[in-house]
Structure formats: C-alpha cells, structure tokens
Amino acid sequence: MALLTTKPLARRTVLRGLGATVGLPLLDAMVPAFALRAHAALRPAHRFQAFYVPNGMAMEYWTPRAEGSNFELTPILEPLAPYREQLLVLSGLKANWNYIHAGASGSFLTGTTRGGRNEVEIIADVSMDQLLARHFADETQIPSLELAMDQPNNAGACSGQLSCVYTHTISWRSPTQPLPMEWNPRAVFETLFGDSGSTDWAAREARLRQHRSLLDAVTDRLADLRRELGPQDRHKVDDYTEAIRDVERRVQKTEEQRDLDLPVIEQPQGAPAQFEEHLELMLDLQLLALRSDLTRVVTFMIGKEQSARPYPQIGVPEAHHPLSHHNDVPEIVAHMSRINRYHAQLFAGYLAKLRATPDGDGSLLDHMTILYGSGISNSTRHAGDNLPLLLAGGGAGKLAGGRHLRYADEPPLANLLVTLMDKLDVPVERVGGSTGPLPIDTLPGV
C-alpha cells in the first residue's frame, strides 16, 4: 500500500485577497492523510448561542402542564414540534435581579443580583457568553458575536430611570462594560469576512463603492485551492462560497435601500425595511459564522426589552410592549401569545437551517446548545419568577432533550448558566449570583 504523505491544510486556512479574509469550513484536506480513517471520530466544536425574546411571555400559552417526556407542546411551543427531541423546557427558575425590564435582560446571562441605581451608574457582572469568549479566544478568529434587531441606545434612561444599556444588551465583558449589540447586517458581514473588522460607517461605505464582492478579491486563490482538493472538498467549498455570495448579494441590496423614507420601526437605518428580511439576514450571518468556526459564541436579541414593534403581518398591529401589560385580561393575553408564538416560529426556521448544515458526524444543531427565552414571565407584573426558558440542540451529546423539567425550589437562573458552562467544558465556580449548578440531566420522578 502506498503511503499517504500529502501535507494537510491548516485548520484555520483562510483565503486572502484585496481587503478580504474568508475562513473555510472543516475540509477533509485539513486532516492529516494518515488520520483520514479517524476523521469521523473527530470531536466537533460545541457552540453556544443565546436567543433572547423581550417583554415576557403569555405564560398560560407557554408552560406545559405535564412533566418529563410526556409533556405537551403548548400553543407557543407548537412551531418547535420538529425539534421536540432536542428541546429541554425548564420551569420554575427565577431571575437573579428582578427590576422591571432592566433586570430582565441585564441579568439574563450575567446572573447579577443588582444593577445601577440611576442612568449613569452602570454595573452588572461578566456574562456567561463572555466567559466562553475568553476561553475560545485563541481558537477562533472572533471570540463572540453580539447581535440584535434593534438599533442600540447607550445613553439616557430607558427602564425605571436606569441606563438604556440594560435593555439593549445581554452581553457584558466586565461588571462595568456592557457590549453593544450590532444590528446592521453590513457591519456584521465585514466583521466576519473583512480584513479590518471595522464597523465604522465611512469605512463600510468606502468598501461599497468598490463595486465588487469580497469573494471577487480571492477568486484566483480560490481556484488554486480547488485544484488541490478532492471532489468532496471541492463540493464543500463550492457550497460554502455560494452561501457567502448569497448573503453578500442580500447585504448589497440592503445598502441600496438604506435611504428609503420609511418609519424607523419598520426599517432601522442600514437594514431591510421588512422585519423578516432583516431577521433572515442576521440569522444567516450567524449561521455562516458558526459553520465556518469563525466564532463559537453568539448572543442575539430578536427584540430589546420594552420593544414597541408591532406585528401587523400576523394580525397584531398593537405595539408589543404596551400589549404585554395585559393586566391579565384573558383576551389580551391570548392576543399577545400570537407574538410569542410567532417568535417561536421564526426560531424554528433558524433551527431548520442549523439541522440542515452538516457538521462532523451530525448537524450543526447536534453540536449546539441554544438558550431561548426571556428574563420576564408575566410582564404585567414584571414577574421574575417561573421564567420562560428552554434549551435547544444536541449539546454535542451532552443535552438530553424531549423533556419538561419543573423546579419547585425556585433556583436562580444563574445556576443554569453554571451548568451550561460545565456542559461546554469551561467549568466555573459561579456566574453572577449563582448558588451552585442546576441539575438538568435528571430530576426525581422524571
């Protein structure tokens, strides 16, 4: 038998051209020839994502009655039916800091027990995603992505006379350094695939004037690389680059429409006019970042706390935040539940793309842990108990889904964050005001 001595490509191989750096997905050619037989046994990366929904939940339409594996899919959860076996619904957890809307998002990933006392005092704790980002900083080009659908507001008071940073982000690099959430798809794309990673508008506009896509700058190098690869790898590269081209085309269209005279709530500056088009772009960019291993940590807010976005496309023309203060009127609660269900439906579409993306011996969804939910339950009371939370994904084999777990002793949400850190092989003693790990593998009776 002839010896296979071909030198493998480096795992972090990138294509470099004029102003462009494009990371590649895992290819067979990146595996040493003598280890090809063991390729299937390679351990895929375990990624984490937080998917935050604002303004609480219509809890009557969210919470399953039954516990364990026989739980029913409630009206809000029904869109997630195809992923039931990779869902872990959690009931009974409480917020560590329950101060109206500021505490909801402010403590969601930090587990902080207190925040500032006025609009200029800013304090929380290091968020879970940033603890992970520190760990993965040497393994990925981008330690973490912080993304949102709403334009940030980092000045003034937004909730209870506290700084707007509490309602506009869930990521904190330090107890006094909240991270802005990027809402502009063009900026996200250039952060992922540009050479400078700049989010400065003048720099992005200059790139736009070049009238060529980022991939055009690396065409020659890409052609050379394809000649070095086998048929299977060439197919992977072709699929990957076409996906990037598709995103680039839609981002270009977004920029062309940035000056349309439309209501700000319908078209944040630099984003598509339609909410669903903007969302699809943002989710596809996250998918690209995860599949190419540019990052393993993503936080995403489908809406900021106190979001006033209406949803006339689903028959809810009222602003979300005022509607969430339903005063427990059954008809209004039912009406609000349509927004909650719609968010779950959009989330399900994202899960479908993750499941359809091969990753090692499974899919990207198999190798992800996604925390979905809100930092408020009943928004009328700004309730911080019995938070609406679920985990989605296979957790790289470390999450047992298909269950609903109910905790009677009201453990803090921060305990779940400690457990997730351990599942991601980055164990910590505490996150914020945690009191210990949360048992999610087994509970008595379930």
Buried b / exposed e across 163-190, counting CB within 10 Å, b at 16+? bbbbbbbbbbbeeeebbebbbbbbbbbb
Burial class (CB in 10 A: 0-12, 13-18, 19+), 242: exposed
Predicted confidence (pLDDT) at residue 104 exceeds the cutoff of 90: yes
- Report the C-alpha gap between 366 and 398 in whole angstroms: 10
Task: Give me the pLDDT at residue 10, please.
Answer: 55
Q: Where in the chain is the domain with CATH 3.40.720?
A: 47-183+296-446
Predicted confidence (pLDDT) at residue 410 exceeds the cutoff of 60: yes
Location of structure tokens 């003693």: 429
Task: Give me the pLDDT at residue 340, please.
Answer: 98
Question: Got the DSSP string for 168-211?
Answer: H-S-EEETTEEPPPB--HHHHHHHHHBSS----HHHHHHHHTT-
Which CA distances in Å does 363 have to 233, 244, 247, 318? 17, 19, 21, 38
Mean pLDDT of 324-336: 96
Reading the block at residue 150, the tokens are: 């709403």
- Check: CB of residue 254 under 8 Å from CB of residue 270: yes
3-state DSSP percent of the chain in helix, strand and coil, to 5: 40, 15, 45
300 DSSP β-pair partners: 51, 147
Q: Which of 24-33, 246-255, 258-267, 399-408 has the lowest mean pLDDT?
A: 258-267
Mean pLDDT of all residues belonging to the chain? 83
Hey, what CATH topology would domain 47-183+296-446 get?
Answer: Alkaline Phosphatase, subunit A (3.40.720)
- Check: CB of residue 110 under 8 Å from CB of residue 421: no
Reading the block at residue 101, the tokens are: 């809307």
Q: Three-state SS for 28? A: helix
Task: Give me the pLDDT at residue 49, please.
Answer: 98
- The HSE-up count of residue 144 (CA atoms within 13 Å, CB side) is 26
Question: Got the DSSP string for 91-153?
Answer: ES-B-SS--HHHHHHHTTTT--S---SSSS-------HHHHHHHHHTTTSSSS-EEEESS---
The alpha-carbon radius of gyration of the chain (Å, integer) is: 22
pLDDT digits (tens, 9 = 90+) for 261-291: 332 323 223 568 799 999 998 999 899 889 8
Residues with Cβ within 8 Å of 94's Cβ and at least 6 positions away in sequence, in order, are 384, 385, 386, 387, 410, 411, 412, 413
Task: Give me the pLDDT at residue 28, please.
Answer: 59
Q: Three-state SS for 416? A: helix
Task: Give me the pLDDT at residue 233, please.
Answer: 78
